[in-house]
Amino acid sequence: MDGLSTEELDDRLRAFLAEDLGTGDVTSDAIVPADAGAAAEIVAKSECVVSGLPVARRVFELLDPALSWEEHAQPGSKVVAGTTLARLSGNARAILAGERLSLNLLQRMCGIATATHRYVEAVAGTGCRILDTRKTAPGLRAFDRAAVRDGGGTNHRFGLFDRVLIKDNHRVLAGGVTAALEAVRRAAPGNMTVEVEVESEGDLREAVAGGADVLLIDNQSPETVSRWSRVARQVPEPPEIEASGKVDLESVRAYALAGADSISIGRLTHSVEAADISLEISFPGTGGTAR
């Protein structure tokens, strides 16, 4: 997974499991024999775009290495309510112990993929890309970014280390765009993308003159994005234009048509509407959804 090796992913999932299990599942340990087996289905209860099934599978495998798993939906596919996403069988206690964590991650990732897909559909045909941001839940950034990709979006920088992004507070502390760019050119790796957030035409002209690779036009109207994009593209090697802020599903296409090469949407990951997904035990007996 992006940003996590196999070992790091397992460590992260074990920590999540430890948070939930603590000293043990007192309910299941009292009711379910240690050697009992069970089969189950993971079912989408709402229409969604699929993301996170391999993560859900790994949760159960960490609890039961002999788990049997059958995937019935592909990452990025759009499914209707009632679709079986996966079938699994193995130790009953292990399935019950992993149920909530696997669903929490799966519901979140499917929710992000679904929201991303809606934005991607809204700008279809314009050539504009939908980007994520660093506005993710701590510890879940790699999961969130994978979900954005499954929804058809594109990942922005992973963190503070892999792209220069001069924002408003950097401008204040440096004494302006030009000074900030000069400091970056002296100290940052030479092959790193340099992006500048601009909030005025003056900022924009300084950033273009300073050779910024990307301009982030933040909290402006589509009309302003259009006008500033024309200004920025008057040079022989113009920067890319990224728009952000004040963008929702109703307005995103207007920003794309205004000339944005990409649009970053914080709400993809900071305001997730989880997909409705449940795990249903089919043998022995029947079971409901974990709470």
Active site residues: 100, 135, 167, 197, 218
Task: Return the SS3 of 79.
Answer: strand
Residues in a beta bridge with 158: none
Closest CA to 41 of 259, 286, 218, 291: 286
Contact 246, 264 (CB under 8 A): no
Residue 84's H or E segment, with its range, is strand 84-91
DSSP letters for 180-249: HHHHHHHHS-TTS-EEEEESSHHHHHHHHHTT-SEEEEES--HHHHHHHHHHHTTSSSPPEEEEESS--T
Burial of 241 (0-12, 13-18, 19+ CB in 10 A): buried
Burial of 92 (0-12, 13-18, 19+ CB in 10 A): buried
Contact 259, 225 (CB under 8 A): yes
Contact 216, 183 (CB under 8 A): no
